[in-house]
Amino acid sequence: MRIIILLLLSMISFGSFADDGYRLWLKYDLIKNETLRKNYAQKLTTVSTNFSDETAKVTISEIQKATSGLLGFTSKTMTSASQANLVLKVGSIANKNAEAFEIISSKNQINITANTSKGVLYGVFELIRRMQTLASLENIKIASAPKIQLRMLNHWDNNNGTIERGYAGMSMWKWYELPERIDPRYIDYARANASIGINGTVLNNVNASARFITSEYLGKVKALADVFRPYGIKVFLSVNFASPKILGGLKTADPLDPEVKQWWKNKADEVYKLIPDFGGFVVKANSEGEPGPMDFGRTHKDGANMLAEAMAPHNGLIIWRAFVYNFDPKGDRFAAAYNEFKRFDGEFHANIIIQVKNGPIDFQVREPISPLFGAMEKTPVSMEFQLTQEYLGWATHWVYEAPMFEEVLKTDTYAKGQGSTVAKVIDGQLFKYPLTSMIGVANTGSDRNWTGHPMAQANWYTLGRMAWNHEITSAQIADEWVKMTFRTDAKSTETIKKLMLESREIYTNYTNPLGVHHVMGESHHFGPEPWVEKAPRPDWTALYYHRADSIGIGFDRTEKGSNSVAQYHLGLRNKYSDINTIQPEFLLWFHHAPWTHKLQNGKTVWDEMVTRYYEGVKSAENMQKDWASLKGKIDSETFENVEARLKTQLKEALWWRDASVVYFQKYSKMPVPSPYQKPTRTFEELKSLVDVYHVR
Ligand code: GCV
């Protein structure tokens, strides 16, 4: 019997088992090290709680799942703390944050205490994470509290089951089955989110169908809210600004119209009657064809404040997106959001958050920060990251996004002198924002492994962990995630971490070196299409951004050009303004650099661009080699899945490289520098490859 068990254990640890990835990072496979297991077990044989709400039930259930999987027995519940090893307690702790927790362990006991049951749940997940990563439970003394209040996913899911920019199947929300049937997946979704501190979910696309706030749909939304509540997750909805017309039959949706105001008030009352802890509305207004207050000669401020008034009696939030840009032939899309919102700073109601995208253009591969971070002193602004890889190779390219988020959060806005980082803006420290939030556009779908690319699960994981504590580095997050997800030997763990940490730069090199941006396929946003010169709007072309000509390449945003750089505080402006000292990664975001301009490494812009395209491809090839070393070290299903995707990635990296080099060479007229070989495919051949994606 012992032999069979050992055999089974070794099969688990050496990856002979297939794993479909459904369990995400919450894998509770038996810990092989017997001493460690016994050590953990001593502290977890029995558990007690001094609270008995719905959260208590899911907390105990999670402890029992974890112990039975990791340790091979199920913790017994005790009625009194004196009989228990694991004591879960709602009490008063030093940090008054409702989500904070403390973990203190002594020889045979662990105490997790929090001000609320939700805080205890987070503490329990921290404890489980420690066991999953095989960390010691001896003498723990942890006090933890989130740095950001609202840590949220935004699903761009439509009510017909499709997901805008979704690459992992269809929507997980089965609207046609709700409210009667609760898919068990909803519970696993809530567990996964709670385990990383995510406490809000916007269920639907910001390009919102008005249907989501009909009585019919609100009943369905309530069913989901009831599932998520014990896990501390609040539900939000994106709303269509024209709803009073579409649903209410009113003649207008003018935010200053008394009937419109009343319509929204009634709607808010209806929502809160059903879902008393409803989070709020997210609004994309007057952006990319969505309706908004400007349709009626009003402003973003008028629209947001009107909705905020309707929600205020219920403590509901309005999250108003700053992603707005009208085409201005003399302007620069880069500057649009700042121009629109800066002037209203301080004039928004107290329950409004202005949600700013990561990047003044649109979640590009590498963007400088939005100038709005650091500009809004009296209005809370929040960070919108994009987890789904719209511009990062969908689900065939491996891009671990944490280094990108880290880079952005650490960027200094210089708003109040040196050290005024984006992190300090959005966590409220810098301007004392009363509301703080970080959201990620979700990368989940109905695929069995949730995210399509198995490694993209790490991006979801990152959002939660960074929103809780933006001081954790991307390397630390990778370390946790790999250990929890793969539980493999130390060398393999290091290999996967290395691949993760390098992946974003590799992708950037073969797609958008030196700050080239918005050169992806038109509308579907996949693959290279730098030659797009005509689109429904000029600022949807590639040419608008790269501006390649016989002299050089890049968008001049200095004072000689659009002067958008002036929207930054001086410290940052200086970093970007000088073509000779700017970090090469941002060069073409701010300068129209001559092809022959010499970078600090002595190479010309053209040579450095070409080098990066080629080196990016070479690195993509190396990713395959590194991955191959993991055969037998992780489960075979994930191994083969990633192995295949890496092949596609390399094929597409070559496509990006060749298409970009051949196209830009038409302008530079410079040779491909040695030791690199000129692409053999013709421009026409490369151009035609994109058609495959256009018919999707
Ligand atoms: C939801 C980009 C995307 C759109 C998205 C929009 C937004 O333009 O391509 O699909 O729409 O951003 O964030 O509103």
Does residue 183 have its Cβ closer than 6 Å to ligand 1? Answer: no
Average pLDDT over residues 517-521: 97
From residue 227, how far is each of 122, 178, 179, 213, 618 by CA, in Å? 17, 12, 11, 19, 47
How far is the centre of ligand 1, averaged over its atoms, from the C-alpha of 399 (Å)? 20
Tens digits of per-residue pLDDT, 181-209?
999 999 999 999 999 999 999 999 999 99
Average pLDDT over residues 563-588: 98
pLDDT of residue 120: 98
Tens digits of per-residue pLDDT, 9-24?
444 444 446 799 999 9
Ligand 1 nearest-atom number relative to CA 384 = 13
Tens digits of per-residue pLDDT, 545-571?
999 999 999 999 999 999 999 999 999
For the chain, how big is the Rg over CA atoms in Å?
A: 26
- Choice from 288, 319, 333, 518 to test ligand 1 binding pocket (greatest atom count within 8 A of CB): 288
Is-catalytic flag, 288? yes
Flag whether pLDDT at 7 surpasses 80.
Answer: no
In angstroms, the CA 691 to CA 533 distance is: 16
Flag whether pLDDT at 661 surpasses 70.
Answer: yes
Q: How confident is the model at residue 6 (pLDDT cuts 50, 70, 90)?
A: very low
From residue 380, how far is each of 306, 318, 321, 377 by CA, in Å? 17, 11, 12, 8
Residue among 188, 186, 307, 341 nearest 238 (CA): 307
pLDDT of residue 651: 96
Average pLDDT over residues 623-633: 98
Please answer whether residues 337 and 356 qualify as being in contact, where contact means their C-beta atoms are separated by less than 8 angstroms.
yes
Flag whether pLDDT at 180 surpasses 60.
Answer: yes
pLDDT of residue 529: 96
Is-catalytic flag, 390? yes
- Choice from 165, 171, 361, 370 to test ligand 1 binding pocket (greatest atom count within 8 A of CB): 165
Q: How confident is the model at residue 693 (pLDDT cuts 50, 70, 90)?
A: low
**Following CA atoms 132, 448, 223, 387 in sequence, which dihedral angle do they give, to the nearest 10 degrees?**
70
Ligand 1 nearest-atom number relative to CA 156 = 1
How far is the centre of ligand 1, averaged over its atoms, from the C-alpha of 289 (Å)? 11
pLDDT of residue 11: 45
pLDDT of residue 107: 86
How far is the centre of ligand 1, averaged over its atoms, from the C-alpha of 192 (Å)? 26
Flag whether pLDDT at 42 surpasses 70.
Answer: yes
What are the boundaries of each domain within the chain? 2-144, 150-485, 508-555+592-694
Does residue 157 have its Cβ closer than 6 Å to ligand 1? Answer: no
Does residue 156 have its Cβ closer than 6 Å to ligand 1? Answer: yes
pLDDT of residue 450: 98
Does residue 284 have its Cβ closer than 6 Å to ligand 1? Answer: yes
Q: How many CB atoms lie within 10 A of CB 476?
A: 13
Residue minimizing CA distance to atom 2 of ligand 1 = 362
Say yes or no: domain 508-555+592-694 is CATH 1.20.210.10. Answer: no
Flag whether pLDDT at 619 surpasses 80.
Answer: yes
Residue minimizing CA distance to atom 14 of ligand 1 = 206
In angstroms, the CA 648 to CA 398 distance is: 10
Average pLDDT over residues 386-396: 98
DSSP for 613-635 reads: HHHHHHHHHHHHHHHHTTTTTS-
Q: How confident is the model at residue 326 (pLDDT cuts 50, 70, 90)?
A: confident
pLDDT of residue 618: 98
pLDDT of residue 1: 47
Give me the residue label for tokens 């567990």: 191
Is-catalytic flag, 138? no
Flag whether pLDDT at 299 surpasses 60.
Answer: yes
Beta-bridge partners for 47: 77, 86
Does residue 323 have its Cβ closer than 6 Å to ligand 1? Answer: yes
Longest dimension (CA), the chain: 80
Does residue 164 have its Cβ closer than 6 Å to ligand 1? Answer: yes
In angstroms, the CA 527 to CA 184 distance is: 36
pLDDT of residue 694: 62
Flag whether pLDDT at 609 surpasses 80.
Answer: yes
Average pLDDT over residues 99-128: 97
Catalytic residue among 157, 362, 412, 427: 362
pLDDT of residue 10: 44
How far is the centre of ligand 1, averaged over its atoms, from the C-alpha of 678 (Å)? 36
- Give the distance, in angstroms, between the CA of residue 686 and the centroid of all CA atoms in the same chain: 32
How far is the centre of ligand 1, averaged over its atoms, from the C-alpha of 57 (Å)? 39
Catalytic residue among 367, 390, 539, 556: 390
Flag whether pLDDT at 538 surpasses 60.
Answer: yes
pLDDT top residue among 9 and 126: 126
CATH superfamily of 150-485: Glycosidases (3.20.20.80)
- Mean pLDDT (the chain) is 96
Ligand 1 nearest-atom number relative to CA 165 = 10
Tens digits of per-residue pLDDT, 354-387?
999 999 999 999 999 999 999 999 999 999 999 9
Tens digits of per-residue pLDDT, 499-516?
999 999 999 999 999 999
pLDDT of residue 399: 98
CATH superfamily of 2-144: Chitobiase/beta-hexosaminidase domain 2-like (3.30.379.10)
Does residue 206 have its Cβ closer than 6 Å to ligand 1? Answer: yes
How far is the centre of ligand 1, averaged over its atoms, from the C-alpha of 160 (Å)? 18
Ligand 1 nearest-atom number relative to CA 287 = 14
Backbone angles phi, psi at 501, to 5 degrees: -70, -25
DSSP 391: T
